[in-house]
Amino acid sequence: MAKQPTKKRAIRRKSSEKFGQKRLEIRNARIKDIRGIADLVRRVYEDMPAYTHGEIRGQINNFSEGCFVALLDDRVVGYCATMQVAEALAFQDHDWDEITGNGYGSRHDPTGDWLYGYEMCVDPKVRGVRIGRRLYEERRALAEDRDLTGIVFAGRMPNYRRSRRKVDGPQDYLEKVVEGKLHDPVLRFQLANGFEPERVMEGYLPEDKASMANAIMMVWRNPYVERDQPVKKRLPRGVEAVRVATCQLQARQVADYDEFMRHVTYFVDVASDYEADFIVFPELFTLMLLSFEEKELSPVEAIERLSEYTPRLRNDISEMAMRYNINIIAGSHPTRMDDGDIHNVAYVCLRDGSVHAQEKIHPTPNERYWWNIKGGDKVEVIQTDCGPIGVQICYDSEFPELSRRLADEGARIIFVPFCTDSRQGYLRVRYCSQARAIENQCFVVLSGNVGNLPNVGNMDIQYAQSCILTPCDFPFARDGIAAEATENVETLTISDINLADLQWARAEGTVRNLADRRFDLYRIEWDEDGKHPGKPRPRREPLGPAHPGGG
């Protein structure tokens, strides 16, 4: 065996250089780059489906150190995405959807010994500055810095279709390209960058018509690492503490809007005194604003009246988040949208002043019938100073596809504001939320209303036991409950959770639900922005008289 080099490359290539009046920068991809990356991919792969913003968000959130962008005068002109995987996974038969977790990069394994490249694209209009080579160098430097065995990826062979009559299958095509008898720009570039062909992978990417779904497994072995057997790296049990508060709020009659806000401010103030990073309020907690109306309003009148408070509520909660230095998940509030429909919306007001909105995707039969509330079209993670989070309003927690989408995009905490009238309704939300915590290996935080509201229709009684739920494995609470409130009592429940435990559990836990999904058997396809090409989006109408209650 050749002698192992004794010293690693000490200096990495500068991250930015000037070319005339233009400036080229190579750095790790950030969330703010998503739109530019998506536009680049559309320009490069005109004949293949582009990434959704959610997929790119997941790639960055799941392994930001392995995603790089090339910026020419602040415009994205190159992008590559990688993840760590175990040798057995990297070299077994697989396709692109299976290895990448359906495009989200969610199968990143921090204990894996190989760096797997699953995206590399460069703007075809940018020539002469070797962007592709520079991105490859970043990959190599990452593998060297982490003492990984090497890099592996499945490279395209875009000239194969036009040359298929000259060769006897993809293996013959590969051999002729290596021998110089045929030209393939992608394969030649990879060979020139020190990668060696391992084997043909048929059916790797069906959307790649030019390669006729074929790819070539390309391998680079780290010269600074000498191993005879695969190595599984261990993940240190680190600490990434976040303090979470859930407010179990008493529904009560208030004299006016200001009195309502004083109740909300009280709990925000207390949570801030405890130095909580998040506080979450219940679903429809603003129904208290109907209690000072002179008469009980009809359901349609009530929702219309509540929606009038939306601008003021958003502004006041946002100012509160900044003033008390805490991220506020403001339960949910009925809001009239631009198209005239009423949606049930959770406003997430962060302590940096930004405001995000997550609409309820699945209104309950009760909401649809009495209030004519429509479902939203989009679910996506929200970036915070404590990492990406998700929000699932009450009934949404009972649909596992939504939380799985959030987990794929990198969410480690999912907040569930809920409003249920009975113990049965509460337990539906509770049990499903516990399932979401287990199957997505994440924390789930529930917040519900208690009490009743005289003079407010459809808010007769409430049942809740707010809680902070965990996966069920050794680093977490014995029963999967980090903290829980006494049932039907107004209170604030606070707990510290360690996000690093999730990373450990996903990589080395007793079970690894995210990593062990069978993408060769099943997967979920999402319509970007809820649009169905060529079909009008159907609207769900009220289904007839509905029983009271939610969840």
Find the CATH number of the domain harbouring 431. Answer: 3.60.110.10
Residues 360 and 325 in one domain: yes
> Exactly one of 55, 87, 283, 409 is catalytic; which is it?
283
Residue 10 resides in a domain: no
pLDDT bin (cut points 50, 70, 90) of residue 456 is confident
> Exactly one of 138, 360, 367, 472 is catalytic; which is it?
360
394 as an active site residue: the answer is yes
Residues 109 and 199 in one domain: yes
Residues 111 and 245 in one domain: no
> Exactly one of 386, 394, 442, 467 is catalytic; which is it?
394
Q: How far apart are the first and last CA of the chain?
A: 64
Residues 252 and 323 in one domain: yes
Residue 229 resides in a domain: no
What is the DSSP code string of 331-384? EEEEEE-TTS-EEEEEEEE-TTS-EEEEE-SS--HHIIIII-EEP-S----EEE
Residues 164 and 279 in one domain: no
Residues 156 and 261 in one domain: no
Are 436 and 442 contacting, i.e. CB atoms less than 8 angstroms apart? yes
CA distance 208 to 45: 9
Residues 281 and 403 in one domain: yes
Which residue type sits at 72?
L
Q: What are the φ/ψ torsions at residue 309 (nearest 5 degrees)?
A: -85, -5
Q: What are the φ/ψ torsions at residue 313 (nearest 5 degrees)?
A: -65, -50
Q: How far, CA to CA in Å, does 169 sit from each of 186, 214, 290, 364?
A: 18, 10, 72, 55
Residues 50 and 100 in one domain: yes
Residues 184 and 249 in one domain: no
467 as an active site residue: the answer is no
Give the burial class of 376: count Cβ atoms within 10 A of its Cβ; 0-12 exposed, 13-18 middle, 19 or more buried.
buried
Is the pLDDT confidence value at 11 over 80?
A: no
Residue 550 resides in a domain: no
Residue 176 resides in a domain: yes
CA distance 246 to 282: 9
Residues 266 and 192 in one domain: no
Pairing of strands 327-336, 278-280: parallel
- Kindly report, residue by residue over 307-362, the tens digit of the pLDDT: 999 999 999 999 999 999 999 999 999 999 999 999 999 999 999 999 999 999 99
Q: Of 537 and 182, which is predicted with more confidence?
A: 182
Number of domains in the chain: 2
Residues 375 and 282 in one domain: yes
Helices (H), 83-184: 87-91, 96-100, 131-145, 160-163, 170-179
Parent domain of 159:
24-221
Average pLDDT over residues 151-176: 96
pLDDT bin (cut points 50, 70, 90) of residue 201 is very high
Pairing of strands 413-418, 342-349: unpaired
Read off the DSSP letter of residue 66: G
CA distance 551 to 540: 18
Residue 300 resides in a domain: yes
Residues 258 and 176 in one domain: no
121 as an active site residue: the answer is no
CA distance 140 to 115: 9
Q: What are the φ/ψ torsions at residue 391 (nearest 5 degrees)?
A: -130, 130
Residue 527 resides in a domain: no
CA distance 359 to 529: 13
- Kindly report, residue by residue over 460-479, the tens digit of the pLDDT: 789 999 999 999 999 999 99
Residue where one domain finishes, among candidates 221, 253, 272: 221
Residue 427 resides in a domain: yes
Is the pLDDT confidence value at 485 over 80?
A: yes
Find the CATH number of the domain harbouring 184. Answer: 3.40.630.30
Residue where one domain finishes, among candidates 186, 221, 256: 221
Residue 443 resides in a domain: yes
